[in-house]
Every structure is written in structure tokens, then in C-alpha cells.
């Protein structure tokens, strides 16, 4: 069964639950089967982030997030040929889960309290840290506080710049690009002074063009990458967490990380992340 065709009813149930004050998870899952019963999946991944989720010339997708999704699907008993990948932006991840266009999202999807009101998260499958990427020649920027008064680009739907201005109280000019590829293009041609987001995202762009940019390498937040699942699918969440644990214990996670980021100076984490819980 391909679950995206069943999620529209689930999304409607979620909306009804919000209006009448019912528990959302029971409203969504009454009469609905868990993703653990699926024989195929549609997974949302990024399409423009090198090393994480990138659409190749042949129309396929590649990157760490894609590898993680395939590993999880395999542990759920779903072969790779039954996994369909579609590109999603940061701004549309919740929408595509809620309206049933995708069954799962593995797209540098940070777990936050606000998002947990609409999405059940497995994981995290990796804990990244927010850092800063600048042009290679901009040696005066050695830490996030050196961005005071400068322009910083973030992708649409991201909270990265807000963590600098509101979280750390550092006044920067916040510029929003359509995607992080757009931000990197603006950094390359001098329209912005820096791009700040999760270090795995930045490492992917750095690996693609190492001579043009450099890491500030002074991280200042933890970003817990979760596997986005339909709200209330606790059984799938628990199965995903078991798969992630095994992925690290068997060394698969280390191989994936080295494959995509081993030629950068990123300090990677190779131990099982502390899970958020599925309730």
C-alpha cells in the first residue's frame, strides 16, 4: 500500500481534531494503518543540498539524508525500488506531510516544539550544529559575534538567522533566499556577508567548492535532525528509532558520513543520538 493516498483523510481528521479539541493523534490514526505496514514509501528530501539531498542529472536523489531514508526503509521491510523520493523545501515540509504528498520527510528537518504539534518525529538521526560559512578571503570573521551589522542569508522556512538575532542578541541584516543554494550564490557574488545554518548543510556546499568558502568552525546550537512522520504514528516512530540505533551500532552511519563529508574539516558525531521519544 502506498500511504500517501491515505494521508488526506488523516490530515482532515487532524484539522477536525484541532477545531473540536480532540486528541490529534487518535483523530489521525483512527482507522489508519501505520507506516510499518507499508510496502512502498514516498519520502521528501532536499533537492539542492550537496552531500545531504541533491537531485542528480538522471532525476534520482543522492546524499546522506537519502542514504538514511533508504536504510530506514530497508529496516521497515521496504526495498529501495519501492521508495520514491521527491524534493521538498524547508518551507513546505509540514504541508506535504499533512496533505499526504509524502509519507516521510528526511530533509535536515530540525525537531522543534512547534513542529511537534503537527508532526511525529523519529530520531534524531543526527545532531548537527549551527555554524557560519563565509568567503575564503573574509578572514576577519572568526565567530558568530563578528557578524554584528553584517548581512546573513537563510533559506525560506528556516530559523537560522533568528537564532542569531533573537537567540544570541546579535544584530545582523537577515536576508532570506528561496533555498540555501540561493544563499550560497548570494555569498559567492558578494550580495551577503555570510550564510548561517547547520554545519552538515554548510559542509556539503564547502565540499562542492572548497576554494571559494571556509567554515568559521565556531558552532553555537544543536540541531536535531528528525525523521518526519504522520502525526500520531507512534508505531512507525518506534520502528524508525530502532533502525537508527542499528545504523550507528553497525557502523553504517559512520560510512555514510565519511562518504559525503569525509573530505571536509567538519568534526562529525559517530555515536547514537539521544532520541526525543515518540509520545
Model confidence at 162, in pLDDT bands (50, 70, 90)?
Answer: confident
As a whole-number percent, the residues of the chain with pLDDT over 70 amount to 89
Band of pLDDT at residue 159, cut at 50, 70 and 90: confident
* Strand, coil or helix: 195: strand
Q: Let me know if the fold of 3-127+224-261 is the same as that of 128-222.
A: yes
pLDDT tens by residue, 230-256: 999 999 999 999 999 999 999 999 999
Which CATH superfamily includes the segment(s) 3-127+224-261? Periplasmic binding protein-like II (3.40.190.10)
Confidence of residue 113 (pLDDT cuts 50, 70, 90): very high
Question: Which tens digits make up the pLDDT trace of 116-139?
Answer: 999 999 999 999 999 999 999 999
Percent of the chain surpassing pLDDT 90? 67
What tens digit of pLDDT does each residue of 35-79 get? 999 999 999 999 989 999 999 888 899 999 999 999 999 999 999
Query: Which of 105, 155, 150, 151 shows the shortest CA–CA distance to 130?
Result: 155
Superfamily of domain 128-222: Periplasmic binding protein-like II (3.40.190.10)
Extents of the domains making up the chain: 3-127+224-261, 128-222
Q: Could you tell me the CA-to-CA distances from 139 to 70, 98, 118, 149, 151 in Å, in that order? A: 40, 44, 42, 16, 16
pTM of the model: 0.82
How many whole angstroms separate alpha carbon 173 and alpha carbon 169?
A: 12
Phi, psi values for residue 242, rounded to 5°: -65, -40
- CA separation for the pair 14, 258 (Å, rounded): 40
Is the pLDDT at 214 greater than 60? The verdict is: yes
Task: Give the pLDDT confidence score for residue 5 in this predicted structure.
Answer: 39
E-strand ranges in 17-93 read: 41-45, 48-49, 53-55, 61-62, 83-87
The shares of helix, strand and coil residues in the chain, as percent rounded to the nearest 5, are 40, 25, 35
Whole-number pLDDT of residue 13: 45
Amino acid at each position: 500500500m502506498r500511504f500517501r493516498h491515505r494521508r488526506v483523510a488523516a490530515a482532515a481528521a487532524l484539522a477536525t481534531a484541532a477545531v473540536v479539541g480532540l486528541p490529534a493523534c487518535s483523530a489521525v490514526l483512527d482507522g489508519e494503518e501505520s507506516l510499518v505496514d507499508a510496502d512502498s514509501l514516498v519520502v521528501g528530501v532536499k533537492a539542492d543540498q550537496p552531500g545531504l539531498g541533491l537531485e542528480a542529472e538522471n532525476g534520482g536523489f543522492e546524499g546522506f539524508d537519502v542514504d538514511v531514508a533508504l536504510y530506514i526503509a530497508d529496516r521497515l521491510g521496504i526495498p529501495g525500488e519501492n521508495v520514491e523520493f521527491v524534493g521538498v523545501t524547508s518551507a513546505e515540509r509540514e504541508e506535504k506531510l499533512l496533505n499526504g504528498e509524502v509519507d516521510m520527510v528526511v530533509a535536515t528537518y530540525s525537531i522543534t516544539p512547534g513542529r511537534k504539534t503537527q508532526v511525529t518525529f523519529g530520531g534524531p538521526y543526527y545532531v548537527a550544529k549551527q555554524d557560519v560559512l563565509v568567503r575564503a578571503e573574509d578572514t576577519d570573521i572568526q565567530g558568530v559575534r563578528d557578524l554584528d551589522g553584517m548581512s546573513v542569508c537563510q533559506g525560506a522556512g528556516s530559523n537560522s538567522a533568528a537564532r542569531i538575532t533573537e537567540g544570541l542578541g546579535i544584530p545582523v541584516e537577515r536576508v532570506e533566499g528561496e533555498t540555501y543554494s540561493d544563499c550560497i550564490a548570494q555569498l559567492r557574488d558578494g550580495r551577503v556577508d555570510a550564510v548561517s545554518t547547520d554545519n552538515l548543510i554548510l559542509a556539503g556546499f564547502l565540499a562542492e567548492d572548497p576554494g571559494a568558502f571556509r567554515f568559521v568552525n565556531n558552532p553555537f546550537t544543536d540541531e536535531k535532525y528528525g525523521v518526519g512522520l504522520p502525526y500520531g504514528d507512534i508505531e512507525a516512530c518506534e520502528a524508525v528509532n530502532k533502525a537508527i540505533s542499528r545504523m550507528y551500532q553497525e557502523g553504517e552511519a559512520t560510512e555514510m558520513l565519511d562518504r559525503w563529508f569525509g573530505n571536509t574539516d567538519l568534526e562529525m558525531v559517530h555515536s547514537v543520538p539521544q532520541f526525543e521519544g515518540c509520545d
